[in-house]
Structure 1
């Protein structure tokens, strides 16, 4: 008992914020811009389709619940990371390092799995954001193709070729190596996204909306597709730790009001607004993103399509940062220092080309969005935070072990979203491929 108290005292004595030495720290506003951009991207424009799957009534309630759960999972994961920093006496930990440290400082029976937890988190992060980069490449290419097919008299070019054309500018953009340098691009992207949002609202409200023919409760078999899209749209947990770790005042990240609370509240409100009214306007005709439903014969709609392409292009490096950060930590120590710069350039080009290749091979935008949301974001944003907090706080799970039961519910929701979402998405993809082959 005495040894346990002394250990607890040593943990509390260490303040990780005082020992952080960040080369280029971000202000609260820059951190807020990066966090909003991480959660508020192409997913915003996919929300009307999600509401079409669930019905507008279920969509509103479901989005609020998912936003609360996702925000709570971010909160408990950051709190756990800070607790692990104190236990390990380290100034900061990444997402995967937090998972490993939580197991290493948990009950004795799970400590041998610390390295596995670390590697599993790394694997999940890497493949999640590779999937996001594939989606972004395909989304930009689809928007550009729609414009070119309408306004150029040349024969239509397959979307895969537009993905190919995008590789060079994306390779150049991804040579930016510091989050601080990405913050201005995130700010520009946020402005353009809000402009696109405003244009979408203009087309939604320019004529009276009809509610009578829209479903309050949709087909329950499509609920997994709704959850997959909303989780994909809402989650940015892989970017959370890089943002929090590079803040000038990380103590402002959690709390109320805080960077995280402001970001999640704003994101939730915008998602509900566009989801409801976008569905009421276009109904079952909705496509992967609402900008693809806008008319092609008016300049505001054209601006919206151009803006969203630029927005996703500027956002791409922020999500790419997660992938390259994982790769650098494992490979750079094994490469001579004089080759580090060449290695960075070559690897960044290879990853961009790999993601572009996936987009060329499988140009199924809606299905890839749902698959990434169901499979990887359910793991990263729900299942892992619930398990990690439980393991780390095993000695103190609250009165009546309420933390344990709460996290069991979160993990169950994550597993339900994963299994059901993947099942529905794969079924949709197979059906679409068969239609294309007929």
Structure 2
């Protein structure tokens, strides 16, 4: 078992007990007379994060690959329905984040919360593999055709002079580097790289906004409402974008003045929701029906925007370690506790390697960025962000006289999340099967021609 002094040496430690368990990793309960046997110590206090630091962490936790996939989500919902739906989903998601924080202090059985945190965070890691491989593959393929002039590119097809490897081979190339990255258990060592990643992603987003705003065609002839069968894909991508749900609990727990976390949450998620709606709408208006699974795949083949892709890839590469930290801190300590002290480090590193290889294998099975985002969002994010928090409030505060409107509101939110989960998962799986079948047919046709 990891000693508490070792955990405290990590700037982002999520555990605070002398004998932490996976039950308390992300949902620590406040001390009280009903649990006198526990030597609970809040992670915040004098050494906790400030209001501004918590705000920055919250912004970084929500600005990632999901943001870049929102133009395609708006396409699936429609130019008018998409932004409206994003706003509604943002309001509901923030409300559910607040419920999750509130209920975490009263919940005694926390396995379900941690289970979906693990699924969600590892799902994000799968998406990162696909994102890195797709973008680096495109940069490599376009290297010989890259120019200084940044002319408008309304498709996501690059000029390939020398064909590159399959995207899944790029994932395997990234695998050793990512395994070495997650071997860094002290997140303080990652702090300089994380700062660089923040700067790189901010600069990339600024240039993406600039290009999209300055290249919107006139007139705009795009459907105001998308096809009904594509809306579940919008749901999965949109709820995936609110990927910071997994860091809300540890951020609140680590804050110096946790009573101010509600202000941080509303301010930070207000900024995030504005970015989601604006980039999703502007990106779709710029590239229209040709929008790719990530807006970076639509950028022109000039050096400036190729560098933008690489900068964002660097940011996502570093973010992999931060997202991976959550499931690692839930799963690994309890497993390492079962071996002798002599083997603790070896088993720890082995388990980290196995978890990364597992996420890479899943990404290889579904190497379609838009579909894997929608699938992860529908399966895991919908549970953690929409279905679970309202039900938790009903269970935790059952005996405290919740009003009928609150009960109805919670049931409606959970029902919406459940419908989105079922339909989004079904449509995403159907699309994955259909697209893989189409690729097999193309490969077979090419083989027969040769």
Q: TM-score, normalised on structure 1?
A: 0.83
- Other structure's SS at 1:266 match: helix
Partner of 2:29: none
Q: What CA deviation, in whole Å up to 9, does each residue of 1:353-406 have, x standing for no partner?
A: 22122222321211110000011101111111111111111122444x222111
Partner of 1:62: 85
Q: What CA deviation, in whole Å up to 9, does each residue of 1:215-242 have, x standing for no partner?
A: 1111122111111111000132222112
Partner of 1:5: none
Partner of 2:398: 394
Displacement of 1:299: 2.1
Partner of 1:284: 289
User: Superposed, which structure 2 residues align to 1:197-212 within 5 Å?
Assistant: 197-212=205-220
Q: Is the alpha carbon distance of 1:203 and 1:287 closer, same or farther for their aligned partners in structure 2, counting shifts above 3 Å? A: same
Confirm or deny that 1:189 pairs with 2:197: yes
How far apart are the structure 1 equivalents of 2:192 and 2:62? 17
Quick check: 2:66–2:243 contact (8 Å CA) kept in 1? no
Partner of 1:94: none
Confirm or deny that 1:340 pairs with 2:348: no
Confirm or deny that 1:377 pairs with 2:381: yes
Partner of 1:311: 315
Q: Is the alpha carbon distance of 1:338 and 1:33 closer, same or farther for their aligned partners in structure 2, counting shifts above 3 Å? A: farther
How far apart are the structure 2 equivalents of 1:354 and 1:160? 14
How far apart are the structure 1 equivalents of 2:219 and 2:82? 14
User: Superposed, which structure 2 residues align to 1:407-418 within 5 Å?
Assistant: 407-418=410-421
Residue number among 27, 37, 41 corresponding to 2:60 in the alignment: 37
Displacement of 1:307: 1.3
Count, aligned residues: 392
Partner of 1:260: 265
Confirm or deny that 1:132 pairs with 2:124: yes
Q: What CA deviation, in whole Å up to 9, does each residue of 1:258-287 have, x standing for no partner?
A: 221121011111111111111011111111
How far apart are the structure 2 equivalents of 1:230 and 1:36? 16
Partner of 1:420: 423
Unmatched runs of 5 consecutive residues or more in structure 1: 1-9, 85-97, 102-113
Confirm or deny that 1:273 pairs with 2:278: yes
- Other structure's SS at 2:142 match: helix
Displacement of 1:131: 1.4
Q: What CA deviation, in whole Å up to 9, does each residue of 1:125-153 have, x standing for no partner?
A: 22222211111011011111111112166
Unmatched runs of 5 consecutive residues or more in structure 2: 1-31, 145-160, 442-450
Displacement of 1:177: 2.4
How far apart are the structure 1 equivalents of 2:49 and 2:193? 14
How far apart are the structure 2 equivalents of 1:389 and 1:156? 51
Quick check: 1:54–1:217 contact (8 Å CA) kept in 2? yes
- Please tell me the root mean square deviation across aligned C-alpha atoms, in Å: 2.5
Partner of 2:42: 20
How far apart are the structure 1 equivalents of 2:203 and 2:181? 22
Partner of 1:169: 177
Q: TM-score, normalised on structure 2?
A: 0.81
Q: What CA deviation, in whole Å up to 9, does each residue of 1:90-112 have, x standing for no partner?
A: xxxxxxxx4xx1xxxxxxxxxxx
Partner of 2:157: none
Quick check: 2:121–2:323 contact (8 Å CA) kept in 1? yes
Displacement of 1:204: 1.5
Q: Flag as ranges the 4+ runs of structure 1 deviating above 6 A.
A: none
Quick check: 1:167–1:356 contact (8 Å CA) kept in 2? yes
Q: Is the alpha carbon distance of 1:208 and 1:331 closer, same or farther for their aligned partners in structure 2, counting shifts above 3 Å? A: closer
Partner of 1:107: none
Confirm or deny that 1:433 pairs with 2:425: no
Quick check: 1:199–1:304 contact (8 Å CA) kept in 2? yes
Larger proportion of helix: 1
How far apart are the structure 2 equivalents of 1:75 and 1:126? 20
How far apart are the structure 2 equivalents of 1:71 and 1:183? 27
Quick check: 2:44–2:258 contact (8 Å CA) kept in 1? no
Quick check: 2:183–2:349 contact (8 Å CA) kept in 1? yes
Quick check: 1:397–1:403 contact (8 Å CA) kept in 2? no
Displacement of 1:352: 1.5
Partner of 2:94: 71
How far apart are the structure 2 equivalents of 1:50 and 1:430? 20
Residue number among 361, 367, 379 corresponding to 1:357 in the alignment: 361
